[in-house]
Chain A
């Protein structure tokens, strides 16, 4: 083969390689776009809610503020829409169209604005999930009545509301301001988001200092012998252990031995920090190693002590790498649900946690619980919760990029 042919061959190989690389990049991008867009598409119905604006008549009525039957008021208001519906069966089926959360919304509204007690005012009453889905997707009326979620009469009512122009579509703020609920139209992710935040904060507080200090010691102070080798191998092994194992350890150690409360973010954070520690140690050691030895030698030559060298020269230079490693470890912990199962964080928690000791759940767990709920409206909610999770993960990873850019040093 001539020289020219060889050069051509090599050039061809290079182009081929570039095409392969581009193709795999393209494939990865396509998958990402498909996942995100299908999630977004499926979550769209979860961001809105249909409701009805009705006048609540409290004026001219005797009201005992301490013992007000909110449910009764809502009931009276909605039954005014169809006065012919007065037997028990009809009323039951009629009130099924409205959210059971309406009474609590009313309670909150009245508590917020005392002046409402004395007047008639317009109040937005949410529809229940079945009625809401009817307005969003319609219903196949050709099916036999007992195979539909709504019977003929109920569909007639709902169509009637629409004709009268009473139905209004609003942004579903419940999704972001409420804790979990069994009623899809009331359920929200706030409880899970706060639970996740607390958990991650605890993880950060425990694993960051311990991980960084351990890595510094191993890297700069520990003598190289069999014991440190053994420790090193074990840290690397620990990073590859399936996360559920840490859950088992957490159950035995933190809950059964130390007596910490079940389902608390404190325990969740402790368990996840066990999982994150090896990741942080490995990342920290790698970035400490990447600091050029000339820096160390220069500092030593100027008479700095070992500790001064590490804390005043090497650590600041390695900081961007350490922070990136830590944040990536935390992002992994953020999306973890398996170890939380064993310590009781896979739970139905309605109240928003107020501290790290309160029972809480985490976002990935919320996704799992909703995905497993029979009500169809939860399908959209599941996608919406997933989007929130992805969004928070993007923010965390963005923080890693920004920190790295800000503190990065070029040698």
Chain B
């Protein structure tokens, strides 16, 4: 008995020593945080970068756009990230926090991402307008034509919302409020839908209080079971749609692209969510993707410049690049050129 105790203790100390004996000195390595939407693109570039250069592969964390900004603007030094990804532009509040900490930022626009509403191929294609989306999904909707009176959302089927839509129960699987996709969806689709009511539009333009009142009306999603929060995992939504032909799912374009044999995207305002139409900006629900470089860190980690070069190169971000295979909607030619030269010259962002 005593012997076994001793063996354990000896083995233990041996394990401790061997763990720390290996190289404790960590080499410099680019650290990237931020949006889960940009994550698939950022990781693809990081992997390519790690393979084709002498530098180590950057570490990419998926923290969400807001979480990434918080870490990014916290300060300078090896314990803070060098790059943050965002599925929206940096907010002026975040920018102020960054500059206060002495951080100089270089903004790089990566491309676009369309948010699609899709259902199973077993069902029929939906032709939605942003107004239908608002009426179908908001908690409070106008009770009369101009929108001056509000009521709790009474619509049970899509036909109730708009007679031209199929007589199918409203059942939408979407991301939770913590997700950047949800933010962009309510901002781009539901706001537009709510604005189609004159009284609501007027409310929005009336004052600051009116604007926040409008946002509350337009962006609060109903909680009576018609909208189901399916978690951050878009793949899960895809699998659920496959087994329920009546349900509509909300997710990023890349998931529709990868599952185009099983799912079909709904037309929004008469435009189908296709690559070319998101690229041209005709498709209503699309947003820009960015990453932000901490310029101050370049002296400490010169490889950041190389990484940015790899990210903005034609073979990754360009119209034929490998990021396009991963579902990125690339920038139009002129914009791409501008972004590339700005990145090359490390032009600082000013808001």
Q: Does A246 contact B (CB under 8 A)?
A: no
- With both beta carbons as reference points, the residue of chain B lying nearest to A353 in the complex is identified as B22
Q: Does B258 contact A (CB under 8 A)?
A: yes
Q: Does B234 contact A (CB under 8 A)?
A: yes
Q: Does B335 contact A (CB under 8 A)?
A: no
Q: Mark A343-355, 1 if CB is under 8 A from B, else 0.
A: 0101111110011
Binds A, one of B58-66, B87-95, B292-300: B58-66
B residues 255-292 touching A (CB-CB < 8 Å): 255, 257-261, 264
- With both beta carbons as reference points, the residue of chain B lying nearest to A312 in the complex is identified as B2
CB distance from A55 to the nearest CB of B (A): 25
Q: Does B57 contact A (CB under 8 A)?
A: yes
Q: Does B157 contact A (CB under 8 A)?
A: no
CB distance from B75 to the nearest CB of A (A): 10
Q: Does A173 contact B (CB under 8 A)?
A: no
Q: Is the CB of A371 within 8 A of B20?
A: no
Answer whether A344 and B235 are a contact pair too, CB < 8 Å, given A205-B15, A205-B16, A355-B22: no
Q: Is the CB of A348 within 8 A of B56?
A: no
Q: Does A116 contact B (CB under 8 A)?
A: no
Q: Does A372 contact B (CB under 8 A)?
A: yes
- CA A317 – CA B4 in complex, angstroms? 11
- CA A45 – CA B252 in complex, angstroms? 26
A residues 333-378 touching B (CB-CB < 8 Å): 344, 346-351, 354-359, 369, 371-376, 378
Q: Does A319 contact B (CB under 8 A)?
A: yes
Q: Mark B6-25, 1 if CB is under 8 A from A, else 0.
A: 00000010011001101110
Q: Does A140 contact B (CB under 8 A)?
A: yes
- With both beta carbons as reference points, the residue of chain A lying nearest to B49 in the complex is identified as A350
A residues 162-221 touching B (CB-CB < 8 Å): 181-183, 198, 201-202, 204-205, 208-209
Answer whether A347 and B19 are a contact pair too, CB < 8 Å, given A96-B325, A374-B258: no
Q: Does B351 contact A (CB under 8 A)?
A: no
Q: Is the CB of A149 within 8 A of B327?
A: no
Q: Does B129 contact A (CB under 8 A)?
A: no
Q: Does A143 contact B (CB under 8 A)?
A: yes
Answer whether A348 and B327 are a contact pair too, CB < 8 Å, given A147-B260, A316-B1: no
Chain A residues within an 8 Å CB radius of B1: 316-317, 319, 407
Q: Is the CB of B59 within 8 A of A374?
A: no
Q: Mark B299-336, 1 if CB is under 8 A from A, else 0.
A: 00000000000000000000010100111000000000
- CA A407 – CA B44 in complex, angstroms? 51
Q: Does B120 contact A (CB under 8 A)?
A: no
Q: Does B342 contact A (CB under 8 A)?
A: no
- With both beta carbons as reference points, the residue of chain B lying nearest to A260 in the complex is identified as B79
- With both beta carbons as reference points, the residue of chain B lying nearest to A378 in the complex is identified as B235
Q: Does B177 contact A (CB under 8 A)?
A: no
Across the interface, A371 reaches (CB within 8 A) one of B24, B42, B233, namely: B233
Answer whether A372 and B232 are a contact pair too, CB < 8 Å, given A344-B61, A347-B60: yes
Chain A residues within an 8 Å CB radius of B60: 347-348
Chain A residues with a Cβ closer than 8 Å to the other chain, count: 54
- CA A262 – CA B58 in complex, angstroms? 13
Q: Is the CB of B50 within 8 A of A350?
A: yes
Chain A residues within an 8 Å CB radius of B320: 92
Q: Is the CB of B79 within 8 A of A374?
A: no
Answer whether A372 and B44 are a contact pair too, CB < 8 Å, given A347-B59, A351-B56, A359-B59: no
- CA A149 – CA B325 in complex, angstroms? 10
Q: Mark B36-69, 1 if CB is under 8 A from A, else 0.
A: 1001101110110011000011011110000000
Q: Is the CB of A373 within 8 A of B40?
A: yes
Q: Is the CB of B79 within 8 A of A262?
A: yes
Answer whether A346 and B59 are a contact pair too, CB < 8 Å, given A182-B44, A355-B23, A372-B233: no
- CA A140 – CA B51 in complex, angstroms? 35
Answer whether A148 and B258 are a contact pair too, CB < 8 Å, given A316-B1, A347-B62: no
Q: Is the CB of A373 within 8 A of B235?
A: yes
Chain B residues within an 8 Å CB radius of A355: 19-20, 22-24
Q: Is the CB of A316 within 8 A of B43?
A: no
CB distance from A145 to the nearest CB of B (A): 10
Q: Is the CB of A407 within 8 A of B4?
A: yes
- CA A205 – CA B12 in complex, angstroms? 7
Q: Mark A127-154, 1 if CB is under 8 A from B, else 0.
A: 0000000000001100100111100000
CB distance from A360 to the nearest CB of B (A): 9
Q: Is the CB of A357 within 8 A of B261?
A: no
Chain B residues within an 8 Å CB radius of A354: 22-23
Chain B residues within an 8 Å CB radius of A183: 47
Q: Does B211 contact A (CB under 8 A)?
A: no
CB distance from A268 to the nearest CB of B (A): 13
Q: Is the CB of A319 within 8 A of B4?
A: yes
Chain B residues within an 8 Å CB radius of A96: 325
Answer whether A347 and B46 are a contact pair too, CB < 8 Å, given A147-B260, A316-B1, A316-B2: no
Pairs A–B under 8 Å by Cβ, sample size 28: A96-B325, A148-B260, A148-B261, A182-B40, A202-B19, A205-B19, A209-B12, A263-B31, A315-B5, A348-B46, A348-B59, A350-B47, A351-B50, A351-B56, A354-B22, A354-B23, A355-B19, A355-B20, A357-B23, A369-B62, A371-B236, A372-B234, A372-B235, A373-B235, A374-B252, A374-B257, A374-B258, A374-B326
- Additional pairs, 4, CB under 8 Å, beyond known A182-B326, A205-B15, A316-B2: A319-B1, A359-B59, A372-B232, A374-B235
User: Which A-B residue pairs are the 7 nearest by beta carbons?
Assistant: A316-B1, A355-B22, A350-B57, A348-B60, A348-B43, A347-B61, A182-B44
